[in-house]
A and B are shown apart, each in its own frame.
Chain A
Amino acid sequence: MNRVLENPLSRRRFLQLGAAGIGGAALAACAPAAAPATSEEDTMAADEVVTISWWHAWGGTTGMAAMEGVAAAFNEEDRNVKVERLHVTEMNDKLLAAIAGGTPPDVGVCCVQYAELYSRGAVMAIDDQIDSSEVIGRDDFVSGLLESMQWQGATYGVPGFEAGPRYGLMYNKAIVDEAGLDPANLPRTWDEMFEWHVELTKFDDAGNVEIVGFDPRDATAGNGPATNIPQFWALTYGLDMWNDESGTFNYDNEQFVSALRTIKRFTDHVGVQQMESFRSSFGGWTQSPSASFPSGVQAMIVTGYYAPGELTHSAPDKEFGVGWAPVSDDRSDVTFQNVGGHPMYIPNGVEQVDAAFEFIEFCSGEKAQNVIFDNTGWLGGRKALYDPELPKYQRYENLDWFLQSVNEADELWACPVIPIQGFVNQERSRTYESVIFGDKEPEQAAADMQAACTEEMLKQFPELVG
């Protein structure tokens, strides 16, 4: 189940809890009882320096600067632990080989399918380390983030580098103004959203699409981070698509069918072939300079906390606004937000666990998170840094909205941890395409997706389904 953290608490109630600092304590109650700290195995001499290996997948010049900056900041400190950084461009392939060969890194972060690793015992549960830590505590993090790194009651990761709220409806101010729409009155439901979509979509005389109002694939950054893609559409309809107590899915129902109908409706208005061409011409990561939104040919997308920083780089000449993601008609008074991100984890088989955890503590701390933000504009998971008043956040327009949204949303959801996430993602895109290309009716597609995911779960985790 995706924990609905604060629902049905009212917004005010939630803010009070947060201010009193007991929101985190309530969360900690969900975690298994903390075991006493054990440091007996820590037998190394005090002055002996331990070197740990750390693999990350982020590159580029700013990304590398951030990673190198974090490693340097850690190594400069007076510690017995030093870190050796390695940039790995295809983490899935390398990590699987390394784990199979018993030669994993001491710490890993980004970009693999974490849920698959947690559920298959490839990564260590680090609840003991977290609970005995003097540096980090469970309530240091934005609500829901640690939960998105838990499996069967145990915690496998700590939000270190990049984690935060992921759903905001961003729009291009110029296109919206030109269409005479009122940004102060953003669409709240999918029906209203469709009206905007119709108003904003433009064709040339030959019928070629020039501007798309909203491509449903660009909800949650399209083909972006794989951790929560299948969830967005379900959530807008208030549907919890995964139950992790029974290991079952919830796709075969009226809400998900409605979501698929909505997707088809948005696509049909543009025409499926035109929409596919549009995607292929302007696809990829929604904030990249060649993508539709920064290029000014898509009016609206749904995207996350990383967008404000990235858009100032990729579309410096354009202005954008942000508001709550749309919902189904019956939920028009509900605002919802979802958090998730990249965990730092310790693979099983690592010997220098304490040293590895020391580095994780450092990365989830303010010093490291400031290095990362200064280089890349990414948020980490540390709650104390989610203060919209902090001057550094003024660098990026709309970022304050994302920071505030985690406190203001009626519903705050955590990214689900599905042990067959990769398979579910593929089923989602098959389902999506079979509906927009008209190969299947939404009812049939939803039922097929339910059947395929259930069968796969039974194959890979028969002991968990019940």
Chain B
Amino acid sequence: MFSLRLTRSQTRDLLKGLAFISPWLVGFAGFVLYPIAASAYYSLTRYDVLRPARFIGLENYVELFVKDEIFHTVLGNTVYLVLIGVPAGLVVAFLLASLLNREMKLRPFFRTIFFLPVLVPAVASAEVWRWVYNTSYGVINSVIKSWGMAVIPFISSVELAKPSLILIHVWAQGAAIVIFLAALQDVPRSLMDAAEVDGANALQRFWHVTIPICTPAILFVMLTGMIGMFQYFTLGWLLTGGGPNESTEFFSLYLYRNAFQFFKMGYASAQAWILFVLILLFTLLIFRSSARWVYYAGESD
């Protein structure tokens, strides 16, 4: 990649590019590289933070893959969350953003309402949902009970706990909604009008004009959503704490327990690196595929 056979203009572009990304280069060298390298080293040690690290080679990795049953459960739970939760969140956010982009009365008001959930502090939002899902007096189950039927054990059953958490995720799509709203501003009015003149109906315009123009933002939300979902922590920690019967024990919860409750920072670091490889694989896969479906006006040469 950095062979010396660069032409003069390539060298000039290289220097220009490096100049623009130089803040990041400094930040990376100063605040990112060492912590990442340290965690890579810890992953090869037995390290409890309080005593010196002891080098044990790949033992942590071997144990995670071969012996640790919880880790296998955790992997399954996490992949489930990513495969179902990320697409669900993305579709809902995009549809809501499209609705909110239409001309309507009180548009700023509606836009604010749909953005609100992401603003509610996690502690408060966990408490609200605990109440919504409550089997004894929750909004849904108290109605069900008044009909004399058996309650729905949303977050207390092994089968429903993960879908119930995904529902909360889908509800709190404020960040994705604003990103899509910003992206929707790039859909040229003239293009829409032209499509309408050509006889395309609303659905066709949405599918053939709106979505393609928004694909860079969709790629962004998909990728960062995936990365974030692999590290899903707060609501799982506050609402289900990994239960029932380990059905919501996700990667970051288990990693956190190992690092700060079991004093196994080395083991947790090994988990972090497995997670890294997993996310990187998903990322490369999505990037590979993005060449076919993402449209960049700025890359049209």
Scan residues 260-316 of chain A and give those whose CB is less than 8 A from a CB of chain B.
273, 276-282, 297
B50 touches A208 (CB 8 A): no
B49 at the interface (CB under 8 A from A): yes
A204 touches B145 (CB 8 A): yes
A276-B145 contact in complex given A208-B151, A422-B263, A426-B262, C-beta closer than 8 Å: no
B51 at the interface (CB under 8 A from A): yes
A92 touches B260 (CB 8 A): yes
B136 touches A426 (CB 8 A): no
Q: Which of B150, B243, B262 has the most CB of A within 10 A?
A: B262
A277 touches B135 (CB 8 A): yes
A430-B246 contact in complex given A280-B155, A422-B257, C-beta closer than 8 Å: yes
Q: How far is the CA of A277 from the CA of B51 in the complex (A)?
A: 41
Q: How far is the CA of A437 from the CA of B145 in the complex (A)?
A: 25
Q: How far is the CA of A38 from the CA of B193 in the complex (A)?
A: 89
Q: How far is the CA of A439 from the CA of B245 in the complex (A)?
A: 10
B50 touches A121 (CB 8 A): yes
A279 touches B156 (CB 8 A): yes
B261 touches A426 (CB 8 A): yes
A100 touches B145 (CB 8 A): no
Chain A's interface: helix, strand, loop or mixed, by majority?
helix
B22 at the interface (CB under 8 A from A): no
A426 touches B151 (CB 8 A): no
A120 touches B261 (CB 8 A): no
A276 touches B148 (CB 8 A): no
A113 touches B151 (CB 8 A): no
What sequence of 0s and 1s flags, for each residue 239-253 of chain B, a beta carbon within 8 Å of any chain A beta carbon?
Answer: 011011110000000
Q: Which residues of A contact B156 (CB under 8 A)?
A: 273, 276-277, 279-281
Q: How far is the CA of A271 from the CA of B27 in the complex (A)?
A: 55
A281-B135 contact in complex given A120-B51, A206-B150, C-beta closer than 8 Å: yes
A208 touches B145 (CB 8 A): yes
Scan residues 354-411 of chain A and give those whose CB is less than 8 A from a CB of chain B.
none
When the two chains form the complex, which single residue of A96, A223, A426 contacts B260, counting CB atoms closer than 8 Å? A96
When the two chains form the complex, which single residue of A116, A205, A278 contacts B263, counting CB atoms closer than 8 Å? A116
Q: Which residues of A contact B158 (CB under 8 A)?
A: 437
A99 at the interface (CB under 8 A from B): yes
* Chain B nearest Cβ from A272, distance in angstroms: 9
* Chain A nearest Cβ from B113, distance in angstroms: 28
B49 touches A96 (CB 8 A): yes
What sequence of 0s and 1s flags, for each residue 105-149 of chain A, a beta carbon within 8 Å of any chain B beta carbon?
Answer: 000000001001100111000000000000000000000000000
* Chain B nearest Cβ from A115, distance in angstroms: 10
* Chain B nearest Cβ from A283, distance in angstroms: 9
A433 touches B50 (CB 8 A): no
When the two chains form the complex, which single residue of A122, A297, A422 contacts B261, counting CB atoms closer than 8 Å? A422
* Chain A nearest Cβ from B287, distance in angstroms: 34
Q: Which of B70, B150, B151 has the most CB of A within 10 A?
A: B151
Scan residues 5-42 of chain B and give those whose CB is less than 8 A from a CB of chain A.
none
Q: How far is the CA of A73 from the CA of B151 in the complex (A)?
A: 53
Interface size on A, residues (CB 8 A): 40
For B239, give the chain A residue with the smallest CB separation: A280
B49 touches A433 (CB 8 A): no
Q: Which residues of B contact A208 (CB under 8 A)?
A: 135, 145, 150-151
A422 touches B150 (CB 8 A): no
* Chain B nearest Cβ from A222, distance in angstroms: 11
Q: Which of B70, B150, B156 has the most CB of A within 10 A?
A: B156
Q: How far is the CA of A115 from the CA of B260 in the complex (A)?
A: 13
Q: Which of A113, A276, A281 has the most CB of B within 10 A?
A: A281
When the two chains form the complex, which single residue of A93, A420, A425, A459 contacts B46, counting CB atoms closer than 8 Å? A459
A205 touches B148 (CB 8 A): yes
A206-B262 contact in complex given A276-B153, A276-B244, C-beta closer than 8 Å: no
Q: Which residues of A contact B244 (CB under 8 A)?
A: 276, 280, 433, 437
A460 at the interface (CB under 8 A from B): yes
A100 touches B49 (CB 8 A): yes
What sequence of 0s and 1s flags, for each residue 147-161 of chain B, a beta carbon within 8 Å of any chain A beta carbon?
Answer: 011110101111000
When the two chains form the complex, which single residue of B50, B133, B151, B157 contacts A122, counting CB atoms closer than 8 Å? B50
A60 at the interface (CB under 8 A from B): no
Q: How far is the CA of A246 from the CA of B50 in the complex (A)?
A: 23
Q: Which residues of A contact B264 (CB under 8 A)?
A: 460
Q: Which residues of B contact A116 (CB under 8 A)?
A: 48, 50, 263
B50 touches A117 (CB 8 A): yes
Q: Which residues of B contact A278 (CB under 8 A)?
A: 135-136
A207 at the interface (CB under 8 A from B): yes
B45 at the interface (CB under 8 A from A): no
B136 touches A297 (CB 8 A): yes
For B137, give the chain A residue with the smallest CB separation: A281
Q: Which of A121, A206, A282, A297 has the most CB of B within 10 A?
A: A206
A120-B50 contact in complex given A273-B153, A422-B263, C-beta closer than 8 Å: yes
When the two chains form the complex, which single residue of B49, B257, B260 contacts A99, counting CB atoms closer than 8 Å? B49
Q: Which residues of A contact B245 (CB under 8 A)?
A: 433-434, 437, 439
A-B contact list, 27 entries, CB within 8 Å: A96-B49, A121-B50, A121-B51, A204-B145, A206-B150, A208-B135, A208-B151, A273-B153, A273-B157, A277-B136, A277-B151, A279-B156, A280-B130, A280-B133, A280-B240, A281-B130, A281-B135, A297-B136, A420-B263, A422-B257, A422-B263, A426-B262, A430-B70, A433-B243, A437-B245, A459-B46, A460-B48
Closest 6 CB pairs of A and B: A422-B261, A280-B156, A120-B50, A277-B135, A277-B156, A276-B156
